[in-house]
Amino acid sequence: MAYFIVLPFFAVLLVVLQRTLLDLVFGGRIGIEVSLILVVWAGFHLDMLRGGVLAFFLGFLLDCLSGTIMGLTTFVYVMLFVLSSLLSPRVYGERMLFIMAYVFLCVMLEGLFIFAVYWFIYGTDVSESLLRTTLPQALVAGVLSPAVFTLFNRLGGGVYAGEAR
Amino acid sequence: MFKKYLAVIVAFILIAVSLVILSQSLRRPGSPGIMKKLVFEVTAPVERGIHSSVDSVGGAWKRYLFLVGLEEENRELRKTIAALQGEVNYYREMSLEGSRLRKVLALEDSTVYPTIAARVVGNEGSSPFRTILINRGSRDGVKDGLPVISPDGVVGRVIEASWNYAKILLVTDYNSNIDALVQGSRAQGILQGGGQRLSRLKYVQRTEEVKVGETVVTSGLGGMFPKGLMLGTVARADKKDPGLFQTIEVVPSVDFSKIEEVLVLQTEKE
């Protein structure tokens, strides 16, 4: 229960930090999508209810704050969480190289989905955004993901310990 | 039995709900919901706090460790230049319009709209979506669709307004389409945002002679933006591509990474 009480506050804090302090690190050019790394982490470490609600909430917050198509990030985050969840029993998700490659792939998948929505629904070609924004973003997220995973392992452990008490 | 299928049921519900939100948004874009308004109201003050802390630390660093006084003066001068640039542009536009129509019509002075000054409280430069948050909402008279400007030119338009905050769709977003015209050649087109790239002026006939460096302003068509507001300058114009129209790229006049204060134009008649 403590998890669901902490979740909204934690999610709001994470999203705000991502949009402010972390956005400043690269001068607003390349964002570090920590929220997406958290969704992937949740796919490997949390059950469907906890992780799913977390992914949904994070996506919804980002849609509300910066999205122009409501529900786009929410849908992508939920799908990436479910995909990671399905994959988790089949692979060992603690290997550094695997985490890096998988997070890279997830960010690229998110970019491709946004590209597809713009292409098929609005008839707008945003392919250059894939190269200029998504690719560097995916590389940065991939490189930083093992450290972020370690951080979430500790934070997640803390919440579980709190619940157990 | 139920526990066995709980994960599948939860996954199904979450995917279905997110798909419903997405399809609703695609069908009826810009329809604000109470949840969105609440999210604005909760998160915007936190963002504002962090922004102002970062700004004040950064400002103090610049002011006291580097050129004391000069930086402030420079900022003021830049503001003045930007304001004058906008004014010159406005008068140039009015003059051109006047000389074309003097013989035909006696035009009334253009309406000056009331404005709402607002501070930018959220600006995520790295997001694929180009939006900003401002600290004025429906309580201050901000409504969906109202144009937002700065001394440098058009910033965008309001797409969602909660009680105290509003989200602005920048002119650089892919979803932004504004009726525009090139000031010198009077060529008309639609200025579409290009994300991180330059904006594109679409649907300009190949017969039009558009030159690099020409100013692009709002045409006043479409009813959303008043006529003559600065949008940017032509960076490239070529007719190499086959088809009815030429390719025109426009550099936006506003530097969106440094935007701090904006004005919302109350163009709607009460």
Query: Domain ranges in chain A?
Result: 2-164
Query: For the ranges A47-51, A83-87, A124-128, B77-81, which has the lowest average pLDDT?
Result: A124-128
Residue B260 and residue B159 share a domain: yes
Query: Model confidence over B23-43: pLDDT tens digits?
Result: 888 877 666 677 778 888 888
Residue B161 and residue B83 share a domain: yes
B268 — pLDDT class (breaks 50, 70, 90): confident
**Could you tell me if B125 lies within 8 Å of chain A, comparing CB atoms?**
yes
CA distance A44 to chain B (A): 14
Report the percentage of chain B scoring pLDDT > 70.
84
Check residues A158 and B95 and name the one with the higher pLDDT. Answer: B95
Cα A28 to Cα A98: distance, rounded to the nearest angstrom: 28
* Torsions phi, psi for A53 (to 5 deg): -65, -40
| Chain B residues close to A69, C-beta within 8 Å | 22, 25-26, 29, 129, 175
What is the reported pLDDT for B110? 44
Residue A31: which H helix or E strand, with range? none
Give me B195's structure tokens: 């994300």
**Could you tell me if A85 lies within 8 Å of chain B, comparing CB atoms?**
yes
Residue of A nearest to B257 (CA): A28
Cα A34 to Cα A50: distance, rounded to the nearest angstrom: 18
Residue of A nearest to B10 (CA): A49
Residue B157 and residue B118 share a domain: yes
Best A70, A81, A118 member to test B by mutation, with max B CBs in 10 Å, is A70
| Chain B residues close to A23, C-beta within 8 Å | 124-126
Return mean pLDDT, chain A: 84
CATH of the structural domain A2-164, one choice from 2.70.150, 1.10.1760, 1.10.260, 1.10.10: 1.10.1760
CATH number at residue B139: 2.40.10.340
Asked whether residue B88 is domain-assigned, the answer is: yes
Highest mean pLDDT pick, A18-27, B1-10, B121-130, B179-188: B179-188
Contact assignment for B126 to A23 by CB distance below 8 Å: yes
Check residues B189 and A28 and name the one with the higher pLDDT. Answer: B189
| Chain B residues close to A78, C-beta within 8 Å | 14-15, 18
Asked whether residue B20 is domain-assigned, the answer is: no
Contact assignment for A55 to B43 by CB distance below 8 Å: no
Query: Model confidence over B153-162: pLDDT tens digits?
Result: 899 999 888 8
Please count the structural domains in chain B: 2
Domain containing residue B100:
70-169+256-264
Residue B260 and residue B143 share a domain: yes
The shortest CB-CB distance from A68 to any of B20, B21, B173 is to B173
What is the reported pLDDT for A165? 46
Cα A96 to Cα A112: distance, rounded to the nearest angstrom: 24
Check residues B148 and B57 and name the one with the higher pLDDT. Answer: B148
Query: Model confidence over B39-92: pLDDT tens digits?
Result: 888 888 887 787 777 766 666 665 665 666 777 778 888 888 888 887 888 888
Give me A26's structure tokens: 């690269």
What is the reported pLDDT for B267? 82
Residue B162 and residue B76 share a domain: yes
Does residue A161 surpass a pLDDT of 50? yes
The shortest CB-CB distance from B129 to any of A48, A68, A74 is to A68
Cα B144 to Cα A62: distance, rounded to the nearest angstrom: 20
Asked whether residue B162 is domain-assigned, the answer is: yes
Residue B121 and residue B79 share a domain: yes
Query: Model confidence over A92-139: pLDDT tens digits?
Result: 767 888 999 999 999 999 999 988 988 888 888 888 777 888 888 899
Contact assignment for A78 to B15 by CB distance below 8 Å: yes
What is the reported pLDDT for B64? 63
Cα B52 to Cα B49: distance, rounded to the nearest angstrom: 5
Residue B260 and residue B165 share a domain: yes
Asked whether residue B28 is domain-assigned, the answer is: no
**What ipTM was assigned to the predicted interfaces of this complex?**
0.84
Return mean pLDDT, chain B: 81
For residues B195-202, give the mean pLDDT.
84
| Chain B residues close to A60, C-beta within 8 Å | 21, 35, 39
Contact assignment for B18 to A122 by CB distance below 8 Å: no
Best A10, A13, A14, A16 member to test B by mutation, with max B CBs in 10 Å, is A16
Does residue A142 surpass a pLDDT of 50? yes
CA distance A58 to chain B (A): 11
Residue B140 and residue B260 share a domain: yes
Does residue A43 surpass a pLDDT of 50? yes
Instruction: Name every residue whose Cβ is closer than 8 Å to that of residue B193 and which is 6 or more positions away in sequence.
Output: B130, B170, B171, B172, B173, B174, B175, B176, B177, B199
Query: Model confidence over B224-264: pLDDT tens digits?
Result: 888 888 999 999 888 887 778 888 999 999 988 778 888 89
CATH number at residue B236: 2.40.10.350
